[in-house]
Structure 1
């Protein structure tokens, strides 16, 4: 049974309509275990059937773009063009430092188009490793020109800080969104980023919102995971370190207990509450939920749908309860820096 009417949509600045819950494909990069390509392609159909038609990937996520391309091709061959559901593929370009002339940019985009089996790209989210090398402005200038040429629908950023976001905008380069880490634990975007985004009509796409699955009943009341066996994916290892900096496992357990109470009051899951909290934040267009395509028992489609249900509405008391714990945590802005600084320090 399809649930397409239940998935809220949002329109980005260039007119692309996407789901507010996006399917994240970092999990097929190889850092979360082996991937069976045919099974991964086949597993995408369940998301489409549920109305979750927006996929987020990158040129550096292993075979993510190819998996999307194979599914996209199969979908169009099975159905007539008019009957096929709209499928949105948001990718990232993560170049190594080097010359950023137009040919370099065009070659990168063509590679993604070939892999994704599309004639133009719905959205390119640009990442840059080193701000001291200002050739990111050259790359963005060419990307903006190629957007005008119709090669890109939405020009966006990923993991840019507030200072550079303002710099880029002040250069006259129009970006639709910035993809950043944002969760109950990591609320750095609320410090400066949100206000700048709201003033420029830029939206946020968030990842890490469920802390790799740590923000769930699975870890409620559990001993602190410390071994590689327990933290056996890139996500779990990464977000456990975020929790350590934020306030440690003891405070995290207090948060899970309170979230469990809020969730029980709304007949939903802890993940639903964690997701809805971020979806309701100013400037947030959508939350990216990782999908381990083709891994048995790892799909959470029904739960993801519940996160954006109109019946789930966090009350002022819910927010006060949650904020009571959050206020006792450490300031990640002073520990890590602004959004994306963890990739550059």
Structure 2
């Protein structure tokens, strides 16, 4: 097993700095065979990548984790898994019973007695009952039901509002990549001042930030953008600066990758891992489909202490990203793309 670097969240939970993302089993990336998905998780755990990120709305993700967790524990391994899930309710009354019921469902599916980390998401800031939900979650954390209380796709303004109420937040899961650097505008600074880690997704733009797309014509058809991730992040590239500028970025990344004898994906991941306040990067795993696990070596390389991007690497990459549009001005703060 490799020594994967860890980060300790404010409640004491240690997680890997590269997390295995399970959005890919939600159904939006094609049909998933649950049994094969459970089987495929072993290779990640064997590699030392023991932290899995999921949500109550990611189809069978919690069930798949639960089945693997049971199997993994029975194998006698003394290296624990970490299961980070999300509570993503529809807006509405948020009394304690509603919150408890949701957490009990997650615990049952994940086959655990308490939850390592609950990352709360709310769809509509105009409905202030997210504060009620967070109050109950904070109480349940004090009672030991939750170890870490965290957020998903909350903006800086709302994070400040929540922390000012005395609710301790461990992390916020947001999009952060060479394409989308909005967290650097103001969220990063707030997180550093309040001991909050950023857990980032979209860091590889659904796989677009790879050698596979270097020198290729722009994908536009559904057949080419065949997963929810590819479609989502291609739209982000369009907003950021378009395919031609993206090709310039891939050239800069490939030059750095050759210099460090690694992949474009490893360079793109390392760049974000090195950003202030970033605790970990979530790399999606297409568990249960052909090729699952093929990116494990890239993930291990990206968090290896041997991979150190140089001033020359940064200068070449930033010469491209400086020419992009300002997504903070265009879209708003992190998570604003999910809200009207």
- TMscore range, shorter length: over 0.9
Aligned pair count reads: 339
Report the counterpart of residue 309 of structure 1 in structure 2.
304
Q: CA deviation at 1:84?
A: 3.3
CA RMSD of aligned residues (A): 0.6
Alignment of 1:95 onto 2:95: no
1:127-185 Cα shifts (integer Å, max 9, x gaps): 00000000000000000000000000000000000000000000100000000000000
**Corresponding residue SS for 1:22:** strand
> Structure 2: how far apart are the matches of 1:252 and 1:206?
20
Runs of 5+ in structure 1 lacking a partner? Answer: none
Q: CA deviation at 1:298?
A: 3.5
Matched residue, 1:243? 237
1:340 paired residue number = 335
Tell me whether 1:122 sits opposite 2:116 in the alignment: yes
Alignment check: 8 A CA contact 2:40 2:292 kept: no
**Mapping 1:218-297, distance limit 5 Å:** 218-297=212-291
The match for 2:167 is: 173
TM-score (norm 2): 0.99
Hey, what does 1:77 align to over in structure 2? 74
The equivalent of 2:43 in structure 1 is 46
Compute the displacement of 1:78 (Å).
Answer: 2.5
Aligned: 1:143 with 2:101: no
Range moving further from structure 2, 83-92 or 270-279: 83-92
1:185 has 2:179 as partner:
yes
Specify every segment of 5 or more residues in structure 2 that has no aligned partner in the other structure, as ranges: none
Q: CA deviation at 1:294?
A: 1.7
Q: Deviations over 1:228-256 (max 9, x none)?
A: 00000000000000000000000000100
Residues 1:112 and 2:106 aligned together: yes
Residue 133 of structure 2 aligns to a residue whose secondary structure is: helix
Distance 2:31 2:232 in 1: 19
CA distance in 2: counterparts of 1:112 and 1:297, whole angstroms: 28
Separation in 2, partners of 1:190, 1:165: 15
Q: What SS class does the counterpart of residue 321 from structure 1 fall into?
A: helix
> Is the Cα contact below 8 Å between 1:75 and 1:84 reproduced in 2?
no
- In the alignment, which of 31, 46, 64 is matched to residue 28 of structure 2? 31
Deviation at 1:38, TM superposition (A): 0.4
Q: Which residue of the other structure, out of 16, 19, 25, is the alignment partner of 1:19? A: 16
Question: 1:206 aligns to what SS in structure 2?
Answer: strand
- Tell me which stretches of 4 or more aligned residues in structure 1 moved more than 6 Å: none
Q: TM-score, normalised by structure 1?
A: 0.97
Using the TM superposition, name which of 290-299 and 99-108 deviates more: 290-299
